[in-house]
Structure 1
Amino acid sequence: MIARDHFTFAELEQWLDQNRVTEIECLVPDLTGVARGKILPRQKFTEDRGMRLPEAVVAMGVTGEFPEEGPYYEVINPTDRDMHLRPDPSTVRIVPWATDPTAQVIHDCYDREGMLVPFAPRSVLRHVCDLFDAQGWAPVVAPELEFYLVARNTDPDVPLKPPVGRSGRAETSRQAYSIDAVNEFDPLFEDVYAYCERMELNVDTLIHEVGAGQMEINFFHAHPLGLADEVFLFKRTVREAALRHDMFATFMAKPIAGEPGSAMHIHQSIVSKATGQNIFSNPDFTASKEFYWYIGGLQKYIPAAMALFAPYVNSYRRLVRSNAAPINIQWGTDNRTVGIRSPVAGAAARRVENRVIGADANPYVALAATLACGYLGIMNKIEPSPECKGDAYLGDFQLPRSLGEALSLLREEKDLAAVLGKEFITVYTEVKEIEYAEFMKVISPWEREHLLLHV
Structure 2
Amino acid sequence: MQGKLPGSFSDLEHWLNERRVTEIECLVPDLTGVARGKILPREKFTEDRGMRLPEGIVAIGVTGEFPASGPYYDVITPTDRDMHLQPDPATVRIVPWASDPTAQVIHDCFDREGNLIPYAPRSVLRRVCQLYTDKGWSPVVAPELEFYLIERSTDPNMPLRPPRGRSGRAETSRQAYSIDAVNEFDPLFEDIYDYCEKMELNVDTLIHEVGAGQMEINFFHDHPLGLADEVFFFKRTIREAALRHEMYATFMAKPMANEPGSAMHVHQSVVDTATGQNIFSNPDGSPSKAFHWFIGGLQRYVPAAMALMAPYVNSYRRLVRATAAPINIQWGSDNRTVGFRSPVATPASRRIENRVIGADANPYVALAATLACGYLGMVKQIEPAPECRGDAYLGDYGLPRSLGEALALLRDEADLAEVLGHEFVTVYTEIKEVEYAEFMKVISPWEREHLLLHV
Q: TM-score range by the shorter chain?
A: over 0.9
Correspondence for 1:56? 56
Correspondence for 2:234? 234
Q: 1:37-436 to 2 correspondence within 5 Å?
A: 37-436=37-436
Once the two structures are superposed, residues 256-276 of structure 1 have per-residue CA deviations (whole angstroms, 9 ceiling, x without a partner) of 011000000000000111100
Unaligned runs of 5+ in 2: none
- Are the equivalent residues in 2 in contact too, given 1:54–1:82 (CA < 8 A)? yes
- Are the equivalent residues in 2 in contact too, given 1:296–1:382 (CA < 8 A)? yes
**For the residues of structure 1 that align with 2:60 and 2:14, how far apart are their CA atoms?**
36
Q: Secondary structure at the match of 1:314?
A: helix
Once the two structures are superposed, residues 366-402 of structure 1 have per-residue CA deviations (whole angstroms, 9 ceiling, x without a partner) of 0000000000000000000000000000000000000
State the 1:323 CA deviation. Answer: 3.8
The AA in structure 2 aligned to 1:423 is: E
The AA in structure 2 aligned to 1:190 is: E
State the 1:239 CA deviation. Answer: 0.2
**For the residues of structure 2 that align with 1:204 and 1:169, how far apart are their CA atoms?**
28
**For the residues of structure 2 that align with 1:153 and 1:177, how far apart are their CA atoms?**
27
**For the residues of structure 2 that align with 1:289 and 1:76, how far apart are their CA atoms?**
41
Q: Secondary structure at the match of 1:25?
A: strand
The AA in structure 1 aligned to 2:276 is: G
Aligned length: 454
- Are the equivalent residues in 2 in contact too, given 1:323–1:337 (CA < 8 A)? no
The AA in structure 1 aligned to 2:12 is: L
The AA in structure 1 aligned to 2:336 is: R
The AA in structure 1 aligned to 2:175 is: Q
State the 1:322 CA deviation. Answer: 1.1
Root mean square deviation, CA, Å: 0.6
The AA in structure 1 aligned to 2:206 is: L
Once the two structures are superposed, residues 32-84 of structure 1 have per-residue CA deviations (whole angstroms, 9 ceiling, x without a partner) of 00000000000000000000000100001000000000000000011000000
Once the two structures are superposed, residues 223-272 of structure 1 have per-residue CA deviations (whole angstroms, 9 ceiling, x without a partner) of 00000000000000000000000000000000001100000000000011
Q: 1:2-17 to 2 correspondence within 5 Å?
A: 3-4=4-5, 7-17=7-17
**For the residues of structure 2 that align with 1:323 and 1:317, how far apart are their CA atoms?**
10
**For the residues of structure 2 that align with 1:150 and 1:101, how far apart are their CA atoms?**
30
**For the residues of structure 2 that align with 1:221 and 1:254, how far apart are their CA atoms?**
26
State the 1:287 CA deviation. Answer: 0.4
Unaligned runs of 5+ in 1: none
State the 1:7 CA deviation. Answer: 1.2
The AA in structure 2 aligned to 1:356 is: V
Correspondence for 2:36? 36
- Are the equivalent residues in 2 in contact too, given 1:310–1:358 (CA < 8 A)? yes
Once the two structures are superposed, residues 1-43 of structure 1 have per-residue CA deviations (whole angstroms, 9 ceiling, x without a partner) of 8632x61100100000000000000000000000000000000
Correspondence for 2:23? 23
Q: Secondary structure at the match of 1:13?
A: helix
Once the two structures are superposed, residues 403-430 of structure 1 have per-residue CA deviations (whole angstroms, 9 ceiling, x without a partner) of 0000000000000000000000000000
Correspondence for 1:447? 447
**For the residues of structure 2 that align with 1:205 and 1:232, how far apart are their CA atoms?**
18
Q: Secondary structure at the match of 2:172?
A: coil
**For the residues of structure 1 that align with 2:260 and 2:42, how far apart are their CA atoms?**
44
**For the residues of structure 2 that align with 1:18 and 1:7, how far apart are their CA atoms?**
15
**For the residues of structure 2 that align with 1:77 and 1:225, how far apart are their CA atoms?**
28
**For the residues of structure 1 that align with 2:421 and 2:368, how far apart are their CA atoms?**
11
Q: Secondary structure at the match of 2:433?
A: helix
**For the residues of structure 2 that align with 1:265 and 1:69, how far apart are their CA atoms?**
36
**For the residues of structure 1 that align with 2:225 and 2:314, how far apart are their CA atoms?**
27
Q: Secondary structure at the match of 1:268?
A: strand
The AA in structure 2 aligned to 1:282 is: N
**For the residues of structure 2 that align with 1:377 and 1:447, how far apart are their CA atoms?**
42
**TM-score (normalised: structure 1):** 0.99
**For the residues of structure 2 that align with 1:105 and 1:359, how far apart are their CA atoms?**
23
**For the residues of structure 1 that align with 2:145 and 2:409, how far apart are their CA atoms?**
26
The AA in structure 2 aligned to 1:422 is: H
State the 1:190 CA deviation. Answer: 0.2
**TM-score (normalised: structure 2):** 0.99
